[in-house]
Amino acid sequence: MLTPIEVTLFALLVLFCAVAAYHTWGQMFRIINKGQGQLYFDPLLQRITRGIRAFFTQGDIIDDRRTVSLFHYGVAYGFIFYGMVTLVDLAEGIIPGFHFLDGNILGNIYRLLADLFAVVVIIGLLFFLLRRFSRHDPALQTRQNVKLDPMARSGGISTDSLIVIVFIFLHMSGALLTSSSTLALEGISNLWQPVSSFAASTFMSSWSEGLLMFTQHLGWWSIGLILLWIPYFPLTKHIHLIMGPVNFVTRPDRTYLGQIFTLDFEDESIEQFGASTLFDLEKTQILDSFACIMCNRCQEVCPAYQTGKELSPSAIEINKRYYTKYDMAGLANGSNGRPLLDYAISESAVWACTACGHCIEVCPVGNTPMLDIIDIRRDQVLMASNFPDELKGAFVGMERTGNPWQSTVSRLDWAKPLPFDVPTVDENPDYDYLLWVGCAGAFNPDAQKTVRALATVIHEAGISFAILGESETCTGDSARRAGNEYLYWEMAQANIETLNAAGADKKRIVTSCPHCFTTIGKEYGELGGHYEVLHHTQLIADLVGRGKLKLNSGKLETVVFHDPCYLGRHNGIVQDPRKALAAAGATLLEMEKHGKDSFCCGAGGAQYWKEEEHGTQAVNLNRFAQAQATGASTLAVGCPFCANMMIDANREGGEPMRVADVAEIVAEAISAESVQA
């Protein structure tokens, strides 16, 4: 179809775009490669499969914003299909007489899909154009108190989107123009090309042959737009189409959603702990910024953002992205970059994160902005000694007394009100379950009620158990999430030694604290401590299910369960607490945000030990209002920190609710005929 001059011009365009793409794509990959650690490729087949799934499911975006996601699927699948259409158009334009699967049923289906997908994509583009530029969807905006790159805030993201929309629109309309002109030149109508046939018979029927040939060639040259787009791709946020799946392929496997990997303090060659600059982050975390869709889904679920704090997880990735965009050549070729606190995130935002992991869970391209914040905290604590004063008390308590409460009372006092003895490991070395009491259970009055209830449930079920007593110390969870990784490292090693000496590596551990559950069961393994850990709601559900515990289910009260972040979202334990409550006779109601989509209580990320960052509302009050809205009489919890935050919110006013742990509710429902093991 092309003339010799056009073929020559096209070859020159290919050469120009190839050279330009070599530079822009090369700069992007060099920037990513300057990060710490490695990109993960083993096992390769499994990871490639994961990436392909992410590519075609578009990161399961349908889980949120259903209408927007449907239009996104239409545009994405159409654009993917048009990768093949572009190759076919290239061949038909350059190879004389070539017609792809001409007169073949497969060819007919191909042409039908090409026709329909072009229209679907154009409709989708119009939807997104109206959404961003006419409706000004609030979901795409970021509050003024959040640090956001000036260009991004003043319209850079919108301009980027508009350029790409125009690119894709011209390519799709160009493809339709070529097929319509071809049908008009041939004087035929093809049922397998309904859109092109309609255009050919309606709009082009009176056009001259010369004009039709001109539009046929003009439409074909829309392929040139795609060639021009290839080197531009790394400069636009739409590189997420490629880098999103790459992110899924190359990110490390984690034992749970937001696992934090341990720093190697024994390696004396390491001079920087945590992240001060972009290149102190892991390679996968730099890749995150290129994978980011800038859709603000993470911002939409962030408890800090939703209560008016300066933190937006999306803004972190956007700021990283714009920072690299300004100086891709310099950063790729040697510049170490500015401190992240200068451009990526404010200091207040760093300390507003509750480490709830919702930004990770909701991200369709696998980004982990929460881990960026943890790394920045590590730098601030370990390298700069710059952190909120209130955390000093918790750190000193963990260092000197083994607990962040700085309490010096006995770790056995919580058990004194019980009508039965709670044995230590020394007293009952043949135990079946080690009850990990936790610092909250040992020293916080409200949490002590929970641990007593749990001990009662275990005792009534006839389970042999024991506790560490005075040998137990804090797991280090709060220190780790506050950035004091060295303190966590020391405490973890001490606890592993204690647990192994107690034989816990050959037994089962049960705890009422999701943070202890996660730290011991999912994080100590990196340091050689491998344990089977159950959350107490798992144990209770199991005991009821196996008939080891009989409950009086006659009492019917309305109960709404608040899913702790480190139980439901991070570890996927959603049904066990509800099974236990149902067995106790509760009539279960649900908040709008529950399960893996649960809203944080506000205590995580070491927030419990410091003043909440300035915002429009306290996180716990926001969550408690959600519970009140259900009309339930009881708010059930499964975490001592969630309990404290909800109890505090309950005292603030409004319609009071009873706040009780699942173990307390179950203990109250224990029947006199409880079956002994």
> What integer pLDDT is reported at residue 555 of this predicted model?
66
Nearest-angstrom CA–CA distance, 129 and 154: 17
Task: Give the model's confidence band at 203: pLDDT under 50 very low, under 70 low, under 90 confident, else very high.
Answer: confident
| Structural domain that includes position 652 | 545-668
Per the CB < 8 A criterion, the answer to whether 337 and 35 are in contact is no
Question: How many domains, in total, are found in the chain?
Answer: 4
Among 14-28, 132-146, 524-538, 548-562, which is the least confidently predicted range? 548-562
List the CATH number of the domain containing 462: 3.40.50
Average pLDDT over every residue of 489-496: 98
How high is the pLDDT of residue 179? 92
φ, ψ for residue 558 (rounded to 5)?
-80, 125
State the first-to-last Cα distance of the chain, in angstroms, to the nearest integer: 83
Give the pLDDT mean for 132-146.
93
Measured distance CA(649)–CA(103) in Å, rounded = 71
Same domain, 436 and 418: yes
Q: What is the SS3 assignment for 662?
A: helix
What is the C-alpha separation between 166 and 325, in angstroms, rounded?
Answer: 21
Q: Is the dihedral of CA 573, 576, 578, 580 positive or negative?
A: negative
Q: What's the chain's average pLDDT?
A: 94
Residue 484 falls within a domain, yes or no? yes
Q: Are residues 474 and 365 in the same domain?
A: no
Q: Which of 120-129, 198-207, 404-413 has the lowest mean pLDDT?
A: 198-207
| Secondary structure of 497-566 in HEC code, one letter for each residue | HHHHHCCHHHCEEEECCHHHHHHHHHHHHHHCCCCEEEEHHHHHHHHHHCCCCCECCCCCCEEEECCCHH
Mean pLDDT, range 507-519, rounded to an integer: 98
pLDDT digits (tens, 9 = 90+) for 163-190: 989 989 999 999 999 999 999 998 888 8
Three-state secondary-structure class, residue 637:
strand
> Which stretch of 48-57, 354-363, 442-451 has the lowest confidence by average pLDDT?
48-57
Same domain for 467 and 570?
no
| Dihedral sign computed on CA atoms, order 231, 236, 242, 247 | positive
Distance in angstroms (rounded) separating the CA atoms of residues 350 and 373: 6
Of 256, 284, 253, which Cα lies nearest the Cα of 368? 284
Among 596, 598, 605, 589, CA closest to 641? 605
271 within domain boundaries: no
Residue 47 lies in a domain: no
Q: Where a domain ends, among 544, 567, 596?
A: 544
Element (H, E) at 658: strand 658-661
Same domain for 650 and 505: no
**Do 27 and 170 fall within a single domain?**
yes
CATH code, 569: 3.40.50.10700
Q: What does the alpha-carbon distance between residue 221 and residue 450 come to, in Å, rounded to a whole number? A: 71
DSSP state of 135: S
Tell me how far apart the alpha carbons of residues 649 and 608 are, in angstroms, rounded to a whole number: 13
Section 450-457 average pLDDT: 98
User: Is 570 a residue whose pLDDT tops 70?
Assistant: yes
- Look-up of token digits 């560490």: 468
Residue 554 binned pLDDT confidence (cut-offs 50, 70, 90): low
The tokens for 355 are: 């480490």
Residue 654 pLDDT exceeds 80: no
Residue where a domain stops, chosen among 544, 578, 601: 544
289 within some domain: yes
Which of 30-34, 238-242, 607-611 has the lowest average pLDDT?
A: 238-242
Helix residue ranges, H only, 221-339:
222-232, 240-250, 283-291, 297-301, 303-306, 313-326, 328-332
254 located within any domain: no
- 55 within some domain: no
DSSP per-residue letters across 581-618: HHHTT-EEE--SS-GGGPPP-S-TTTGGGSPPPS-SS-
pLDDT at 65: 87
Q: Are 638 and 540 members of one domain?
A: no
For residues 292 and 418, membership in a common domain is answered with: no
Q: 3-class DSSP state for residue 157?
A: helix
Weakest mean pLDDT among 28-32, 148-152, 258-262, 667-671: 667-671
391 HSE (CA, 13 A, CB side): 20
Q: Are residues 404 and 425 in the same domain?
A: yes
Query: Given a cut of 50, is residue 676 above it in pLDDT?
Result: no
Same domain, 297 and 436: no
CB within 8 A of 273, min separation 6: which ones? 263, 265, 378, 379, 382, 383, 485, 486
CATH number, domain of 295, equals 1.10.1060
Q: Please report, rounded to a whole number, the percentage of residues in the chain having pLDDT higher than 90.
A: 84
Starting at the earlier edge strand, list the strands of the sheet with 587-589: 587-589, 558-561, 634-637, 658-661
Asked if residue 389 has pLDDT above 70, the reply is yes
Q: Is the pTM of this model over 0.75?
A: yes
The span from the CA of 269 to the CA of 524, in Å, is 24
Question: Which residues contact residue 149 at a Cβ distance below 8 angstroms, ignoring those fewer than 6 apart?
Answer: 156, 318, 319, 322, 323, 343
Q: What are the b/e assignments for 313-339, b being 16+ CB within 10 Å? A: bbbbbbbbbbbbbeebeebbeeeebee
**pLDDT computed for residue 614 by the predictor:** 96
In this prediction, residues 535-558 reach a mean pLDDT of: 88
- For residue 42, being part of any structural domain is answered with no
pLDDT for the residue numbered 352 = 98
Q: Looking at the structure, do residues 183 and 230 belong to the same domain, yes or no?
A: yes
Among 354, 383, 412, the domain-final residue is: 383
539 and 552 part of one domain: no
Res 677: pLDDT:
40
Q: Residue 446 CA to chain centroid, in angstroms?
A: 32
* CB atoms closer than 10 angstroms to residue 174: 22
pLDDT confidence band for 675 (50 / 70 / 90): very low
Cβ-based neighbours of 88, under 8 Å, separated by 6 or more: 100, 110
Mean pLDDT of 394-418: 97
How far apart are alpha carbons 188 and 207 in whole angstroms?
A: 14
3-state SS, residue 348: helix
DSSP 100: T
Range of weakest confidence among 57-71, 351-365, 615-629 = 57-71
Residue 493 has pLDDT above 60, yes or no: yes
Q: Is residue 336 part of a domain?
A: yes
323 and 429 assigned to the same domain: no
Q: Is the pLDDT of residue 357 over 90?
A: yes
Least confident of 3-12, 144-153, 356-365: 3-12
